[in-house]
Amino acid sequence: MAEPIATYTVQASGLWNTRHRVANATGTLGVLTVHRGGTGVVESGSYRPEKGEVLTFRRDPGILRGQFSVWTEGREWLGSSLRWSIRKREINLHTGNKPLRLVPLDGLRFGWSLQAPKTGEMARIHGNPLTRRARIDVFRKVDFELLVFAYFLGSQIWLESLWPGPELDPEAQAAPAGKTSAS
């Protein structure tokens, strides 16, 4: 895979309602807060950037895991996610213009890969649950809000990403790289 065009680091803190500080090489970009209900199930989250619009992540009605939507302060829908099966470790993301999927990284390691249908891997989220740190490597043009949403979803199920994910299409990986909107 080519060199990343952008890299972000995430440091988590807290036990029940966790805070995830998102940063790049120049400093902190914002804080993602994950809210759990009385049973321990993640109910919602919010991302408060240093400057810009606050994002809200809400659990959509239903019994399926990974069923969330992301909204701006102005009540604009940015995307939603759906995990069709408990056994299948793939989360489908719908953004209005193209479908994406979040799948476990290949190999025996913690992390997720954000995949586009034709261009292949857009970003990787490398996690380390023991140190509570993560790194997000971006390889293709992708909205920063979508990266935060993908991290929000993947951080809830780190342990499920340990076993290797599906084989990646080598032809799709050769597509030209772009830039992120937050770089």
Residues 6 or more apart in contact with residue 137 via CB below 8 angstroms: 4, 6, 7, 123, 124, 126
- What pLDDT sits at residue 179? 47
Is pLDDT of 55 > 90?
yes
Phi, psi of 160 (to 5 degrees): -70, -15
Pick the more confident residue, 1 or 29: 29
Q: What is the largest CA-CA distance in the chain?
A: 46
Domain 6-173 coded CATH 2.40.160: yes
Residues 6+ apart with CB under 8 A from 64: 82, 83, 84
What would the pLDDT profile of 137-176 be if each residue is shown by its tens digit? Answer: 999 999 999 999 999 988 887 666 666 655 555 544 444 4
Query: Model confidence over 73-96: pLDDT tens digits?
Result: 888 888 888 776 666 677 888 888
* pLDDT value of position 173: 46
Say what the pLDDT of residue 1 is: 59
- Residue in 98, 90, 182 with CA at minimum distance from that of residue 136: 182
Highest mean pLDDT among 35-39, 52-56, 62-66, 88-92: 52-56
**What is the pLDDT, as a whole number, of residue 13?**
94
Question: b vs e for 14-51, b when ≥16 Cβ sit within 10 Å of the residue's Cβ?
Answer: eeeebebebebeeeebbbbebebeeeeebeebbbebee
Give the whole-angstrom CA distance, residue 135 versus residue 121. Answer: 15
